[in-house]
Amino acid sequence: TTSESGVSDLETSMTDIRCTCCPYGYHLDTDFVKFLDDMYGSDVLRTLKKIERKRHDVRSRLINEQQVLKLLQD
């Protein structure tokens, strides 16, 4: 059904239902909170730094090899 304002009763009831146990009225799934903790945990950040270091080392080595090859060609 539709109210006089043109907004359906379903839309009105969906906006009226707010969670009172959680901040901002939105209910958060505990699995999602755990997922965020895992994503931004120190272990993940440490692993990402190791990967970046390895990428940097590979880039540096490739640049050095290219410079040596260029010198040999000259």
HSE at residue 12, side-chain half, CA atoms within 13 A, is 9
Average pLDDT along the chain: 76
CB 13 within 8 A of CB 7: no
In terms of pLDDT, which residue wins out, 13 or 17?
17
CB 50 within 8 A of CB 44: no
User: What is the structure's pLDDT at 62?
Assistant: 93
Neighbouring CB atoms inside 10 A of 28's CB total 13
pTM over 0.85: no
Domain definitions of the chain by residue range: 9-73
DSSP three-state, residue 2: strand
Distance CA 36, CA 34 (A): 5
**pLDDT over threshold 70, residue 1:** no
